[in-house]
Amino acid sequence: MNVNEPLAERLRPKTLDDYVSQAHLVGANGVLTQHLKQGLIPSMLFWGPPGTGKTTLANIIANESGRPFYTLSAINSGVKDIRDVIDKAKQSGGLFTTKNPILFIDEIHRFSKSQQDSLLQAVEKGWITLIGATTENPSFEVIPALLSRCQVYILNAFEKKDLETLLNRAIATDEHMAAKKITLKETSALLRLSGGDGRKLLNIFELIVNSYNDDTVVITNEAVLQKVQNNTVRYDKTGEQHYDIISAFIKSIRGSDPNAAVYWLARMVEGGEDVKFIARRLLILASEDIGNANPTALVIANNAFQAVSTIGFPESRIILSQCATYLACSPKSNAAYLAIGQAQQLVKQTGDLPVPLEIRNAPTKLMKELGYGDNYKYAHNYNNNFAPQEFLPDDIKNTKFYEPGNNARENAHRDFLKQRWKDKYGY
């Protein structure tokens, strides 16, 4: 045992049986478990917070599938490094065996478009199986061509029982920890400071244990806070505060408090948070929490996203502040958000209901003969550009999803709908 190696590294699982958490992926019926049983490993992206086992899982997949394993970090690798690995993979038999090599790329979201482009042919031809790890939404950070060639699997932050399992395993199986008399009297402070990050939990735990001068260690919340407080960074943009502060920021805007919004924005700016991450969250909020109460909010947020993507820090802080204060002072409505959620839920319950014949497309003679498009009322041929007709499948007709919010703009929407659909939807 190398005691200079961090505890999290010493405890890194080697098999799926030792892996903690992510049962939806690696449990008895997990999708990755099934892939390993079948021996068919697709290219994939692991998306999740730091310390949830993305790198560990990639190593286990390579070991249990018996495949050659190559690894790159997007922080210090370029196109030449990628091509070198692909050449090695092809020479190792990737062209002549179903067990093609695995290339693991950590923090793949940091790769530029050209770097990601350099992976496309190798993935498409099957010279390598790509496994990428990212803490950012792949829809924004991975180019569409590469994203379409990969399965995306989400890893969740560790739950309380998972974190406690890691602590107990460390005490029982690590030689350095087992040599001490460790009592976990209280764990809530440890678990809270970890923020669901298993690696962070073990690092803090090791720091606490090593701070004792003798072999008797009693872990209490008070002891943890006293010993860790001076070692906690002001803003960890990859850890707990990253998620807590963006949550406070969004909730301040949703709660129409521009002063709190600017404060939390300043915390992120001073901590060096990614401007695009902040702007993306504002863009989502503009639709989710403001919506049709003020459609201009989405325009402002989208323009802010485009602007900060071009400008960057420090000037982009002004644009973010303008956008955040505008959204905070805007009327709020989540009616559009609720409407799509209810509609999706009904789709899951009712399946693929047929489109009513009168609003089907009829591009061929046969379709016209079958009645496609018959009796469709072209709205512009009627007074006020409106003619009552059925647009929903028969099984769910008269179902109302959109309920306008109580604000000036959506009250106007309600009046508009009431004039046309009062008898059908009850506006």
Give the pLDDT score at 351. Answer: 82
CB 21 within 8 A of CB 158: yes
Q: What's the confidence (pLDDT) of residue 94?
A: 46
- The answer to the question of residue 343 being in a domain is no
Q: Report yes or no on 338 lying in a domain.
A: no
11 in a domain, yes or no? no
Among residues 213, 231, 249, the one where a domain terminates is 231
Single out the residue in 294, 328, 362 at which a domain terminates. 328
pLDDT digits over 167-184, tens only?
999 999 988 888 889 989
Q: Are strands 102-106 and 129-134 parallel, antiparallel or unpaired?
A: parallel
Q: What token pair was written down for 255?
A: 């709660």
* pLDDT score for 426: 81
Same domain, 90 and 179: no
Taking phi over 0 as left and psi of -120 to 50 as alpha, with beta for the rest, 39 belongs to left
My answer on whether 60 and 170 are in the same domain is: no
As a whole number of angstroms, the distance between CA 222 and CA 225 comes to: 5
- Buried b vs exposed e over 284-294: b needs ≥16 C-beta within 10 Å? ebbbbbbbbbb
How far is the CA of 79 from the CAs of 76, 123, 136, 372, in angstroms? 11, 15, 21, 53
pLDDT at site 300:
97
The CA distance from 26 to 23, in Å, is 5
Q: Please tell me the predicted confidence (pLDDT) of residue 95.
A: 45
Phi, psi of 354 (to 5 degrees): -70, 145
Q: In terms of domains, do 371 and 418 share one?
A: yes
Q: Using a cut of 0.75, tell me whether the model's pTM lies above it.
A: no
Torsion, CA 115, CA 121, CA 125, CA 128, rounded to 10: -10
Residue segments in the chain with a per-residue pLDDT below the cut of 50: 94-97, 230-234
Q: Is 133 part of any domain?
A: yes
* Total structural domains within the chain: 4
pLDDT in the model for residue 98: 52
Among residues 140, 155, 142, 148, which one has the least CA distance to residue 123?
Answer: 148
Is residue 54 located within the same domain as residue 136?
Answer: yes
Q: Which of 267, 295, 328 is the last residue of a domain?
A: 328
Structure tokens at 210: 């090593």
